[in-house]
Amino acid sequence: MSQPHLLLGQTLAFTADPFAEGLSAARHEHRGAVLVEGGKIAETGPAAALRARHPDVPVTDYGEGLITAGFIDAHAHYPQTAIIASWGKRLIDWLNSYTFPEEMRFADPAYAAGIAARYFDLTLTNGTTTACSFCTIHPESVDAYFAEAQRRGLRALAGKTCMDRNAPDGLRDTPRSAYDDSLALLKRWNGHDRLTYVISPRFSPTSTPEQLEAMGALWAEHPTCRMQTHLSEQVDEVEWVHDLFPEARDYLDTYERYGLLGPGALFGHAIHLTGRERRVLKESGASLIHCPTSNTFIGSGLFDMEGLVDEGQRIGLATDTGGGSSFSMLRTMAAAYEIAQLRHRALHPAELYWLATEGSARALQLEDRIGNLKPGLEADLVVLDLASTPAIAQRADRAEDFWEALFPTIMMGDDRAVQAVWVNGKLAT
Ligand code: GUN
Ligand code: ZN
């Protein structure tokens, strides 16, 4: 058990969803404190009160630094770390030209281990304390990810990407091997330490109906796992799915009919949805994962944040590394802001920050563990410098309130804004 420790600084927590409750859902303390003990958040409140109650506990004073829950990236592809920012293609070409050749390399466990270490170095220096990642078809790629996360004490989610068609030789499994390998991996990792296994058919175009059915059966047998895939990212992709599954009512139905829908189902992108898909998604309790830097980078389209929130959909936020163009959840919040602006809705900084923390935690069904500054939750924290560059500092200096001081860091911040990261109650960077 780690010793108690008191962190002082500005603090930001949420008592409710700001999309529903407005600004009264946010609690900002200018001189706040977080007491960390045994890997958990033990207490939060005004610094003076906590110091008086715990006079002998060691203190780290971050001054004007902002202490919040660490960022939660609800959809990523860690094997695409080395090919992030590859120029000039749309989804299917981009997969064939850059992604599949790189993913082929993960048959080598040493290569997978090297990229997993690099990936967590990058996410942590960006203040991300939990990521939910696809791996490759190789079980070794899953072992590399979870072993590295476990070594660092991280809460992490991932699964073997399953594909049995429309992928090159060497990057296809079968319905049987996808089931068997995923089963062996979930037995090895799911629920161990802070790790959750995610059953991961890549998307309908690269799985036969037989494989989707096998994945649905596996999830029904192991309901504590999550299930992740992609849904309606690009218009061409949606048309391709109609050709591949002529019997399906729509793209979502290719998952629904095989048992791949329900609470704990995570659908990346979800841009070009029909009315039926939206209704069924809402009723099912599934989560939609917004990947804004990816949607602009690959030219996918504009996620309907306002409409989907109004319908009561469960929404998380994600980088989609390396279709996304950044490891930073600050950059990701900025892109979400810009996409919503193009649909004439200005997301408030409280809404953006909530999406990157508690919203993603709820999407991953982990809000009872992570995603907020709340006693009893795990102590995964980020400390932000709200004046990390001259451009940000001069704008923040003019701020009339806390939100105006935070917004320049959301819009212009990156890893330079990340002053410290605490993982499971211990200083990580
Ligand atoms: N759809 C299927 N696979 C992928 C992927 O790796 N990245 C993105 N952005 N979309 C996908
Ligand atoms: Zn993706």
Nearest ligand for residue 320 CA: 2
Q: How close is the Cα of 225 to the center of ligand 1, in Å?
A: 21
Q: What is the reported pLDDT for 1? A: 52
Q: Are the beta carbons of 347 and 336 closer than 8 angstroms?
A: yes
Q: How close is the Cα of 118 to the center of ligand 1, in Å?
A: 21
Q: Are the beta carbons of 384 and 417 closer than 8 angstroms?
A: yes
Tell me what percent of the residues of the chain surpass a pLDDT of 90.
98
Tell me what percent of the residues of the chain surpass a pLDDT of 70.
100
Tokens of 207: 């799985």
Tell me which residue has its CA closest to atom 7 in ligand 1: 323
Q: What is the reported pLDDT for 190? A: 98
Domains along the chain with CATH numbers: 5-70+372-427 (2.30.40.10), 71-363 (3.20.20.140)
Tokens of 381: 């924290």
pLDDT tens figures, 370-391:
999 999 999 999 999 999 999 9
* Amino acid residing at 116: A
Mean pLDDT of the 192-202 span:
98
Atom of ligand 1 minimally distant from the CA of 298: 9
The residues that bridge with 201 in the sheet, in sequence order, are: 162
* 345 three-class SS: coil
Tell me which residue has its CA closest to atom 1 in ligand 1: 230
Tell me which residue has its CA closest to atom 3 in ligand 1: 202
Nearest ligand for residue 323 CA: 1
The residue whose CB lies within 8 Å of the most ligand 1 atoms, and thus the one to mutate among 77, 106, 134, 332, is 77
Give the Cα separation of 36 and 44 in Å (integer): 9
DSSP annotation of 83: G
Q: What is the reported pLDDT for 133? A: 99
Give the Cα separation of 294 and 43 in Å (integer): 37
Instruction: Report residue 273's pLDDT band, with 50, 70 and 90 as the boundaries.
Output: very high
Tell me which residue has its CA closest to atom 8 in ligand 1: 323
Residue 341 Cα distances to 293, 305, 323, angstroms: 14, 10, 22
DSSP assignment of 383-413, as one string?
EE-TT-SHHHHHHHTT-SSHHHHHHHHHHH-
Whether 89 has a pLDDT exceeding 90, the answer reads no
Whether 231 has a pLDDT exceeding 70, the answer reads yes
Q: How close is the Cα of 321 to the center of ligand 2, in Å?
A: 7
Tokens of 209: 């109906």
Q: What is the reported pLDDT for 2? A: 73
Tokens of 363: 């999407």
Q: CA-based angle 134:298:289, to the nearest 5?
A: 45
The residue whose CB lies within 8 Å of the most ligand 1 atoms, and thus the one to mutate among 78, 203, 237, is 203
Give the Cα separation of 352 and 177 in Å (integer): 40
Mean pLDDT of the 344-365 span:
98
Indicate the burial class of 277 (C-beta count within 10 angstroms; 0-12, 13-18, 19 or more): buried
Q: Helix 209-221 vs helix 175-189: angle between axes, to the nearest 10 degrees?
A: 30
Instruction: Report residue 304's pLDDT band, with 50, 70 and 90 as the boundaries.
Output: very high
Atom of ligand 1 minimally distant from the CA of 99: 6
Mean pLDDT of the 189-199 span:
98
pTM reported for the whole predicted model: 0.98
Rg, C-alpha atoms of the chain: 21
Pocket of ligand 1 (CB under 6 A): 77, 91, 95, 99, 202-203, 230, 233, 294, 298, 320, 323
Using alpha carbons, select from 217, 219, 239 the residue that is nearest to residue 227: 219
